[in-house]
Amino acid sequence: MTAAERREEEKAAFGAYVDGCPTHQLMGIIGNKWSMLVLTDLAQGARRYAEVSRALPGVSAKMLTQTLRSLERDGLVARSVTPSVPVQVEYTLTLLGERIVPLLDSIKEWAGRHIEEIHAARERYDGTPAGV
Amino acid sequence: MTAAERREEEKAAFGAYVDGCPTHQLMGIIGNKWSMLVLTDLAQGARRYAEVSRALPGVSAKMLTQTLRSLERDGLVARSVTPSVPVQVEYTLTLLGERIVPLLDSIKEWAGRHIEEIHAARERYDGTPAGV
């Protein structure tokens, strides 16, 4: 095997390792722009679709539906349908969804505590005066 | 103002809120495919470029350079140059970088503990038999 072939093989193996890595997969779920906002909203209690939509006024219906469906598929959100007239659809966190909330809180807490240091570092790096 | 105009305004305001949200910004940093791997590698100690590269065999030189530069700009990684022959470039975590490691550990721990439940939920949702 040539060195180039060996590098290609290592690269493919590492790519598969990263794709199979639980952390990487989890970041794919909670790193999504709207997932964390939806989970945070549902952490307050059960919500109808229109209520989630009102809590996230920047989200298109398509994106919100996709996000909710994806979180439901991941077992973090449960969708329950009450056969009333009109039909009522409600979203709640599953037990697994509730278990992720403390982790999301830790992320939020870290971000709230340190994002200013990151901004300051960026300003230093970019050589712009602070506050610009 | 019409209802449509009001919705547009709400949407723009919420978009700005999300973009300015510390959590969203932090997820943009650690949610990046390679950032967490680089930070985890540097958590073990100082590394030369070639060492980080060997630890992440799937990453192109361009992507690794970009990731390191971006983490340096964010104040999480420090790059030090020793004027030897040849010049030695070394990467270490900054104090801020060290402070994010416990958070990354929490994310990894949660992922390791629960990713199987997420996989199982997906299999149920997709209606495929377990293990496929």
DSSP character string of A35-59:
HHHHHHHHTTS-EEHHHHHHH-TTS
Burial class (CB in 10 A: 0-12, 13-18, 19+), A45: exposed
pLDDT per residue as tens digits for the range B26-77: 998 998 879 999 999 999 999 999 999 999 888 889 999 999 999 999 999 9
Q: Of A23, A74, A115, which is closest to B107 when you measure between CB atoms?
A: A23
**Alpha-carbon distances, residue A69 vs A61, A104, B75 (angstroms):** 12, 19, 36
The tokens of A129 are what?
Answer: 């005066």
pTM of the model: 0.86
**Cβ(B76)–Cβ(B39) below 8 Å:** yes
Of all residues in chain A, the one with the smallest CA distance to B118 is A74
Q: What is the mean pLDDT of residues B95-99?
A: 98
pLDDT per residue as tens digits for the range A77-91: 999 998 888 888 999
**Is B77 in the A-facing interface, judged by CB distances under 8 Å?**
no
Q: Which of A69, A73, A71, A68 is nearest to A55 (CA)?
A: A68
Q: Is ipTM strictly over 0.90?
A: no
Strand ranges inside chain B, DSSP E: 47-48, 77-82, 88-93
Residue A8: how many other CB atoms lie within 10 Å: 12
Task: Report how far residue B46's alpha carbon sits from residue B131's, in angstroms, rounded to the nearest whole number.
Answer: 41
H or E stretch including B31? none
pLDDT per residue as tens digits for the range A72-130: 999 999 999 988 888 889 999 999 999 999 999 999 999 999 999 999 999 999 996 55
Q: In the beta sheet, which residues pair with residue A90? A: A48, A80
B86: closest CA of chain A, how far (Å): 24
Task: Report how far residue A15's alpha carbon sits from residue B34's, in angstroms, rounded to the nearest whole number.
Answer: 11
Residue B114 with chain A: CB contacts under 8 Å: 26, 96, 99-100
What domains appear along chain B, each with residue ranges and CATH number?
31-126 (1.10.10.10)
**Cβ(B42)–Cβ(B97) below 8 Å:** yes
**Is B103 in the A-facing interface, judged by CB distances under 8 Å?**
yes
